[in-house]
Amino acid sequence: MSALRSRLKTKKRIIVKIGSASLIDPETDGINHERLEELVKVLVHLKRDGKDVCLVSSGAIAVGSKALGMSGKPDSLPKKQAYAAVGQAKLIQAYDMLFEEAGTMTGQVLLTAITLENSLARANAVNTFEELFKLGVIPVVNENDSISTEEIEQVHTFGDNDRLSALVAQLTGADLLILLSDIDGMYTDDPKSNSDAGLISEVEDLTDEMWGMAKGTDSKGVGTGGMSAKLAAAKIAVENGADMLILNGNDPENIKKALAGEDIGTLFLSK
């Protein structure tokens, strides 16, 4: 076990982001309840281990689309808002039930970029998170898509939940951000099209070469952030004192393995 990996054992406040590709069952286009249950159990385990835990969850639009009997991504902003409103309710209902079964309370926090740009609103958000952590509640965070306007979407959005999770890490003073993806970490090239692509274990500096390796799309068409979005999140996280991990979200137990010091995923080192 490397010294860089062993330091993950000491992390105290952890933000975990699950993307739509890990959350949605490709066979049914609905919530992957089995994976969600496994994730909740892991997060509750971390909390009982004395850590502050926060979950940033994608999937509202995809879940809403499925519930409304639609296929594909919405082709207009009003549809996106409507799908998100339906999906957000169903998502938090699923999380609330699973966390309650695991003996832990959860609370929903919906953020907008404007919230974080306004000093008073930002301070209120910080106070809310701190009080939730004190109460032993695991916050579930998403962008408040359903109240966005076209102007807000163009100018004042997070862009994707990878960046949102990094900003939540910054906001809460977290020392670790974990992005759950549908691949094992960052590769030298797309491993789905290049069998010679190698997994990068640790990243100390985000070089121009590394940005060139990143891809801008995901594999399943249900998410908005690819590897380039994850590098943008890493930049925010490491510059604000948090390490960042990209892990394969198909097995939530990978979180526990990484925090035990195992060499899995890609670790971006904080400055």
Task: Supply the pLDDT for residue 215.
Answer: 57
Give yes or no for residue 35 having a pLDDT over 90.
yes
DSSP letter for each residue of 100-115:
HHTT--EEEEEE-HHH
Task: Supply the pLDDT for residue 159.
Answer: 55
Task: Supply the pLDDT for residue 145.
Answer: 66
CA distance 262 to 73: 37
Q: Which residue has the higher pLDDT, 244 or 19?
A: 244
Per-residue model confidence as pLDDT tens digits over 164-207: 999 999 999 999 999 998 889 998 887 777 888 899 999 999 88
Per-residue model confidence as pLDDT tens digits over 47-102: 999 999 999 998 888 899 989 998 777 888 888 889 889 999 999 999 999 999 99
Per-residue model confidence as pLDDT tens digits over 204-257: 998 888 888 775 444 444 444 478 889 999 999 999 999 999 999 999 999 999
DSSP letter for each residue of 24-79:
B-TTTSSB-HHHHHHHHHHHHHHHHTT-EEEEEE--HHHHHHHHTT--SS-SSHHH
Region 94-115: what's the mean pLDDT? 92
Task: Supply the pLDDT for residue 93.
Answer: 95
Task: Supply the pLDDT for residue 222.
Answer: 44
Task: Supply the pLDDT for residue 171.
Answer: 95
Tell me which CATH homologous superfamily contains domain 3-268: Acetylglutamate kinase-like (3.40.1160.10)
pLDDT band at 147 (very low <50, low <70, confident <90, very high): low
Q: Which residue has the higher pLDDT, 163 or 176?
A: 176
Task: Supply the pLDDT for residue 18.
Answer: 95
